[in-house]
A and B are shown apart, each in its own frame.
Chain A
């Protein structure tokens, strides 16, 4: 919980990781990809305040102690949602697996929610694994990384018939939340890998699943916004938006937040630190203190304490059924409901 000016903020970090990208875990013959991947992540960290930067060695593999201190002790987080990204073609034991996350979660009861993953290209074997993971870890959510490389394929889309089988199975197994993260490659490579229209199709066809689009579809915020306006079950995951823009590019941060508040609305935006790219502490403190920097932004929706409480924790708590202490809840009149498609009112220039 974070407290400021007498207000108590319940914090759910809805997108974070505990990875092992150390050289010992690089797959022989794929070292350049394993190295390139983690160096790319490390460059993103440079967009944070200088005093929070880590050495590349530290960044490749944070310890359990680091994580518990950065996220919970110093970082105000009440519940953290582990997202899994396997990348086993590059990292021998996986970059960030459900198994590894679950082991840590088990040691610290009540602190973590563990999300699983699936990959439609794994076919029946992947389906069996998903069933086993749901049974073993009680998964409520999964993370999809569509740009993952697998046996010569550079990626997939949620529109693939095989992906629909997995979505059906996910629903049947009681999974509620699907976090989607786009990356730079897809099959075929001549298509825009960051395109979010596949999420639009899936969200329409699976109205009982929630689709949390991580990084708000960056670098395709506009396409994401048009879609989120039309799909009541699409949410904006703010990882990278806060970490990558709030400190380094405050003017663009204000514009992007303004657009998201307009198109998506404060009831459908969720905080994610993207740990350990960025530590949550400065992001939470900064967001609570944040307002538009000038009159230039006067035609965007206003932000208040309720907006920030929703974004920092209350929205994700609803998605995951996390109990929120009474002292952190909103008074009934501010609570609102996730915006339905006709709530986005368009106003003139």
Chain B
């Protein structure tokens, strides 16, 4: 590979960092789903993706391949993107469909009635629930009362990666995400949470986070068994 191609490959990897597993709300690179990534001298980017099992849900798999295609295609120095999902029961439909920019319904002829944006939004909403726990737990540990939490705006919460992530997921859904918007909102309606509803709200946030993180933890374990990937970030057991 020439230096230009090497540099382009680095940019492709950075672009892949922005592609998330929609179900786990984590980057496909940190999950270890990117098996390889190269850019040829004429700018053709080839990315191989691998998932924890042969039977991972095809709708989420399709979204990851399609999102990787879009992210990689937008990288400067890339003339064409080839994204290949390997060892999956629906590899042929997914890889072919994404390469042809066919959409989900057309790629799974007769088996799907709609594209996947509704599914994606449902899981961004779960990410908002889980993110609420990540942001609130340290505040509660630091002694903030329920009434104080309900009164906080996003701009008043100490800066953190978890806060940025929560705001960005809220913004994706069109929910209030500005400095003066409340920290605690109903992720479906966007309305502020009342003090009386806070205990249940926080319980829901916590169980959603536990669910997503436990799922992610199992996926990592299965991927490890299947491929023993290098570079995947482990989780805290």
Q: Give the residues from 166 to 210 in chain B that come closer than 8 angstroms, CB to CB, to chain A.
A: 198-200, 202-204, 206-208, 210
How many Cβ-Cβ contacts under 8 Å join chain A to chain B?
A: 137
Complex-state Cα separation, A259 to B215, whole angstroms: 14
> Is B151 an interface residue when CB atoms closer than 8 A count as contact?
no
Contact of A40 among B23, B53, B204, B217 (CB under 8 A): B53
Main secondary structure of the interface of B (DSSP, over half): helix
A251 B211 Cβ-Cβ under 8 A: no
Q: How far is the CB of A213 from chain B (nearest CB, A)?
A: 13
A interface size (C-beta, 8 A): 46
With both beta carbons as reference points, the residue of chain B lying nearest to A245 in the complex is identified as B214
Segment at the interface with A among B30-38, B71-79, B153-161, B221-229: B221-229
- Please indicate the chain B residues that have their CB under 8 angstroms from the CB of A226 in the complex: 204
Are the CB atoms of A252 and B119 closer together than 8 Å?
Answer: no
Q: Is A133 an interface residue (CB 8 A)?
A: no
Residues of A close to B129: CB separation below 8 A: 222
Question: Smallest distance from the beta carbon of A121 to chain B beta carbons, Å?
Answer: 14
User: Which one of A36, A194, A221, A346 lies within 8 Å of B214 (CB-CB)?
Assistant: A221
A36 to B226, CA, bound (A): 11
B152 CB-CB contact with A under 8 Å: no
Q: Are A256 and B210 in contact (CB under 8 A)?
A: yes
Within the complex, what minimum Cβ distance (angstroms) separates A265 from chain B?
14
Contact, CB under 8 Å: A221 / B211: yes
Instruction: Indicate if A132 sits at the interface (CB-CB under 8 A).
Output: no
Which residues on the B side are within 8 Å of A219 (C-beta)? 23, 211-212, 214-215, 218
Closest-by-CB residue of A relative to B145 is A349
- Give A contacts to B, CB under 8 Å: 32-33, 36-37, 39-40, 43-44, 46-47, 152, 154, 183-185, 187-194, 218-222, 225-226, 244-245, 248-252, 255-256, 259, 262-263, 346-349
Output the least CB separation between A278 and chain B (Å). 13
- Cβ-closest chain B residue relative to A32: B89
Most chain-A CB neighbours within 10 Å: which of B53, B108, B226?
A: B53
Q: How far is the CA of A310 from the CA of B140 in the complex (A)?
A: 34
The CA of A229 and the CA of B58, in the complex, are separated in Å by 30
Cβ-based interface call for B102 (8 A): no
A184 contacts B57, CB within 8 Å?
yes
Query: Assuming the A-B contacts A188-B111, A347-B199, A348-B146, are A225 and B207 also in contact, with contact meaning beta carbons closer than 8 angstroms in the complex?
Result: yes
In the complex, the answer to whether A222 meets B218 with C-beta atoms within 8 Å is no
Given A190-B105, A250-B237, CB of A33 within 8 Å of CB of B221: no
- Are A192 and B112 interface neighbours, CB within 8 A? no
